Every structure is written in structure tokens, then in C-alpha cells.
Amino acid sequence: MNERYVIQSMYDYFKLAGKSAIVTGAANGIGAGIAETLSSLGVNVVACDIEDDALAEVARRLNEAGGTVTPLHCDIRRTEDIDRAVQTAVDSYGGVDILVNNAAGCGGGKKIDDIDDAEWDRLIELNLTCVYKFIMRVLPHMRAKKSGKIVNISSGAAITGDWSDPHYAAAKGGVISLGRELAVELAKDHIYINTIAPGLIRTRMVLPWESVEANNILVGRLGEPGDIGATTAFLASAASDFYTGQVLCPNGGSWMY
């Protein structure tokens, strides 16, 4: 088979070049991996985070590699920051084709007896309420185009439980349920919403336990941010047009779901 034909067929199938995306929590770890993967496939990315220096470095590196990435300070707890991120995508790239809700906060290893109401509210807001708010602000633009892909990043903790941070697991479980409910409501507008619940990924939160945790992964290694980037690219592309309301678990065989 002609190699050029194969390459063109793959390009047409995934159809990501020229699309626009907002990626939250893009300054490091999984978010940076997602931004890098999408950018390498021709997606115009508004990369959002509160870590300005790290975010600027990610954008510089990806733009030097030929991407189109706009770094934007965005605290997802501030409605005005969310509005600015959406407007930046509209003004710079003509709309929002893809939303990746990745930004999150962790609990720091707290048990249930260590959590007070304020700590509970903090993680529910960061990990669930802010996802809802971002979705609500991109929906008018996606509905106007009758198309859109929303990818929410949950966690294996929402599925298997964990040794601590029940408020984190609860919020990430809510992300899965929110995605399923909205998938039902939004399908008529050709807006498809799916969730990724990763296993252990090599990020700064996981590195202290890398050697221990890798022993429980069938493929023998931690995941890399690019592994989640690849899953996101699939869910953002036309290749996943028969997927909505689903949960994908890139976890190296840590659990079967």
C-alpha cells in the first residue's frame, strides 16, 4: 500500500490538526504531557495553570517544536479566569473544539479523621465543581458549532479506593458521574464527553513511591504523562466518535475495569 495514502488516511481519521483546545493544569505532569501530545498533532492549545514560570517553559518548548500554544494564567477556582481562558481560545483560535479538565488538587495523605469541613470543601471545589464550571462555559461555543469533545481527568482512586484522601476519591468519582450524566444530555448536540481514570503516572506526586508502586503494575513500569496524552488524543479525535460517557483506565494492568 502506498505510504503516503496510509499517512493521509491516518491524518483524516484523527482529524486533529487545526482544532483548538483548552488544557488545564498544563504546567507539568499529566497536563504538560497532554498539551505536548495535542500540540504535536497540530492542535492549537490554550495551556492553563497557576504556575506561570513552568507554564511559560512548556509553551516555549512546544512552540519551538512547531506547535501553537498560548500559555495563560488561570486559577480554576476563579470564574473570571475560566471566562478569560474560554475567550482566549475563541479570540485566538476561533472557538473551543476540545476541553481537557486536568487541573486538580490532592489531599496530602489525610485519613477521614483528619478532614474538616473546610478541607472537604476545598477538594470538592478543585476537583469537581471547577470541572463543572469549565464545562458550562465552553458549552455555548460547542453547541453553536454542534460539535465538541470534552475529556475529564479523574483518578484510579475513584474506582479502586486508596489508602487516604477520601475527599479526593469522592470528588474524582463525581467527575466520572458528571461525565456520564452530561454525555446523556449533550449527545444530541454532538458533544461527546469521556473520562480518563489513570493509574500511577510518573509525576512529582508519585516519584517518592516510584520503586514500590511499580511492583504492582503488570507492564513493569509507571505510566508516563505521554501515555495519558495519547489516550486524550484518541478521545479528542474523530476516531472516538462512537465513545461518550465512557471511562478509560490507562493503568498498565494495575486493575481491570
Q: Which long-range contacts (CB under 8 A, 24 or more apart) does 128-133 make?
A: 128/171, 128/172, 128/174, 128/175, 128/178, 130/76, 130/77, 130/82, 130/101, 130/103, 131/101, 131/175, 131/178, 132/178, 133/76, 133/79, 133/82
Q: What is the dihedral of CA 13, 18, 20, 24, to 10 degrees?
A: 80
Find out whether 147 and 186 touch, Cβ atoms under 8 Å.
no
Please pick, among 13, 93, 132, 168, the residue that the annotation labels catalytic: 168
Q: What are phi and psi of 164, to 5 degrees?
A: -160, 180
Residue whose C-alpha cell is 455555548: 140
Largest CA distance in the chain: 63
Nearest to 229 by CA among 202, 257, 207, 256: 202
The grid coordinates of residue 120 equal 472537604
Query: How many secondary structure helices (H) and strands (E) does the chain include?
Result: 10, 7
Active site residue 243: no
Angle at 15 between CA 62 and CA 55, to 5 degrees: 20
Name the amino acid, one letter, at 155.
S
Residues marked active site are found at 168
